[in-house]
Structure 1
């Protein structure tokens, strides 16, 4: 048999201009931090230092919140929904115009394959701004009363797995509803948020409507606990989410939390197996498994277990691991050394507890943070790899005999963010979706997102919804005549 190798197809880095250092974006201008502190942003694919990033402290958080409060009181909340929508439409169009630049920068800073940044993340970012621009002058029809009002200043904290997409999920509905924003991107992936600050300038967004503070966890804590922040929105780990919930408890602040997950991807014996295998791969190996709703637990009906596993291994053997900027790459770099350490530790625990580990043959680059796609079989519900969120390209495979057993195993988790069901029977899909304690249930697909569809979880996966009409509610105070 003749095998053919793809020639390298690298995307050009020349389309992005990475500055040597970046300041904080406060009141429509870039400014140095009060104490001059900074940290370095690293390319996870080769450990190259990309830029020095300003680290916001107490004084900087105060300045940013004050700028957001001033913009809210004097400009943004007084503007008509129609005019706010014009700004959002303008931002969406600029994102489309600069889509290639954003995609390349996202892959450099994050480690994800350029195909995903280019074809999934950035188009969805623009779509969210277009979608919420359309809502800006129609809020009285959103189901929150005839005259819903914005909260005021929203403090928003986003993770490193989908930096631009999470930014859009947070900022677009906040601005559409008349709130102003202070956003903190993740410490390891600040560059596209800072480029978005330039886009805000390009769109002539009024100063202070969007402020971006870079920094580590302490910066986020200062933002959450700031007395003049009215609304907190966080996407990230359950541990940090619990700390935020404790912090806002007893205050007038509103909060939405989108946290961890340990999703079950359930394959029945009547499922279209080749399609299901593609869904399994997309469910756990998309974005290196750095997905809160990743299908990290595969539940396969016993009668097709051997067939599904054989097909899955054949498919994984074709995945290409390597340079995120190569258009042929399927699995990119792990985002950080810290995350790679956690993935390795939990994988070693899986082996120590008796699960069987398998990975396709692949040569990993010598520099950077890399982990081969990994499948564990012989997994029980007691294994840590079946209970804890690994947040990496690691799949645990379990079996079931009946739909009731599948539901019981799928729900046997403290999380409740997402699930997938693969079957030919529509009635079974509907029944399963009612039984599964998950905020999103995909039917014969996985990891599909749309700005019109709400997303969020139950239990330790958090509360509140982002996306769709429901996503407006997190940023609105319903009027008395709302009936809610």
Structure 2
């Protein structure tokens, strides 16, 4: 299996202070593929100290935008040159089909280049004020930024956070998911090779209750960025009160996908499948609630089930595979438990619902594409995030009811509308309480556009100029152009 994989702290590869290790599994086979050091709070404290020194004492806060851009461009170039190595490793550790992991690596390179180019572009603002003054606003880096990402897009989520933080001039302490750290470790090998100064970007490994909590709680961390579940997001918020650090949270979702009777039928069916079964349904913005107008309800479900039963589930390394395994045995059991909850609640199971166990499938964590119909708004499978290949279908009569059902959720991350009546589609989109929306499509994401949600789906935004601004402080500067005594007090 090889040597124990290490953390990257203050420019050095280090084992944990604890001496403990963790086995990393391939979710398609259940086999151990690596052993990594298991970090503890002391490792986070050391990494934060290195990041703080790099920012305040060793000159990173004064590094030119041109230099930061050069490093990000170089990181993108080297990552792209090793793309195959990365996407194969991602599929091995995460299980997703190779066609998805290869896109993730490509998107990560594009995101790095977007922020590398953006690094030299931000500008301040000047104001025409009443006095003989020049008033201006500049953006400055925050300082030490802590980052925690989930297991569903290990490499891409890392880049979504690291790239804008470095572009803005911050230092970073990064924690990947404890079950999918392999591409992050490989990414830090490149970071080490290309010459980022010591302490600017640090990698800590370990679980959430210890490593993640310390990162959120540490008083020298001035910003925490987290992607993951809403319950964990609440814990991050509480821990961040230690020094009232800036936070951005990209959390859960139970996103509605609304199909009107006038939609292009086959297009809507195709995207309904893509919305929920892409990445095995392990997507925060998955279209996990399908809302169908009653006039097309039966016909749509018949075609949807027909198509879903043909989805090829298998190893991510088989190029014909369309859906891979779930990430872990624990997560698979959680998804299967929700399927049982749906049955007990009275929803009708029309597709899937089982773990796939025949042959080599029995060693991995595979679940069939699953569809429930005849669901009610108060059912748990309708209200709670399952984060797996489980679709719940609801019926609506008209535009008003569609909007009401769509907004009946504590989440507000994403939403889709399918209709050939563009005016109606726009009316409905404007009424939906969600941060990421689509008309006649689902899932496309762009580096230029903000990513984030309403309500319990999070705080702040990633990507675009909005993502950059999350890693900056705004400073007001006033310059007196008429330098003389104020005359306010008597001489």
TM-score range, shorter chain: over 0.9
Going from structure 1 to structure 2, the CA distance change for 1:426 and 1:137 (only over 3 Å counts) comes to same
- The answer as to whether partners of 1:139 and 1:177 remain within 8 angstroms in 2 is no
Q: Is the aligned partner of 1:162 residue 2:146?
A: no
Counterparts of residues 303-318 of structure 1 (less than 5 Å): 303-318=295-310
Partner of residue 164, structure 2 = 173
Counterparts of residues 143-162 of structure 1 (less than 5 Å): 146-162=137-153
TM-score normalised to the size of structure 1?
0.93
Partner of residue 376, structure 1 = 372
Please give the secondary structure, in 1, of the residue aligned with 2:461. Answer: coil
CA distance in 2, matches of 1:78, 1:24: 27
Partner of residue 39, structure 1 = 22
- The answer as to whether partners of 2:219 and 2:243 remain within 8 angstroms in 1 is no
Cα offset for 1:75? 3.1
Structure 2: gaps (5+ residues): 128-135, 479-491
Q: Is the aligned partner of 1:55 residue 2:46?
A: no
- The answer as to whether partners of 2:124 and 2:139 remain within 8 angstroms in 1 is no
Q: Is the aligned partner of 1:211 residue 2:194?
A: no
Residue deviations 1:192-231, cap 9 Å, x none? Answer: 0000100102221112111111101111001111111000
Between the two proteins, the alignment pairs up a number of residues equal to 464
Q: Is the aligned partner of 1:302 residue 2:301?
A: no
Please give the secondary structure, in 2, of the residue aligned with 1:22. Answer: coil
Partner of residue 83, structure 2 = 99
Residue deviations 1:362-387, cap 9 Å, x none? Answer: 77511111110000011110111000
Cα offset for 1:310? 1.7
Please give the secondary structure, in 1, of the residue aligned with 2:24. Answer: strand
Please give the secondary structure, in 2, of the residue aligned with 1:46. Answer: coil
Q: Is the aligned partner of 1:110 residue 2:101?
A: no
Partner of residue 278, structure 2 = 286
Partner of residue 404, structure 1 = 400
CA distance in 2, matches of 1:28, 1:111: 31
Partner of residue 11, structure 1 = none
- The answer as to whether partners of 2:9 and 2:50 remain within 8 angstroms in 1 is yes
Partner of residue 238, structure 2 = 246
Of structures 1 and 2, the larger Rg is shown by: 2
324-333 or 145-154, which deviates more: 145-154
Going from structure 1 to structure 2, the CA distance change for 1:479 and 1:337 (only over 3 Å counts) comes to same
339-348 or 246-255, which deviates more: 246-255
Cα offset for 1:143? 11
CA distance in 2, matches of 1:425, 1:480: 47
Q: Is the aligned partner of 1:195 residue 2:170?
A: no
Residue deviations 1:443-472, cap 9 Å, x none? Answer: 111111111110001111111000011111
Equivalent of 1:425 in 421, 436, 439 = 421
CA distance in 2, matches of 1:431, 1:23: 52
Cα RMSD after superposing both structures: 1.7
Going from structure 1 to structure 2, the CA distance change for 1:386 and 1:467 (only over 3 Å counts) comes to same
Equivalent of 2:61 in 55, 71, 77 = 77
Partner of residue 9, structure 1 = none
- The answer as to whether partners of 1:124 and 1:450 remain within 8 angstroms in 2 is no
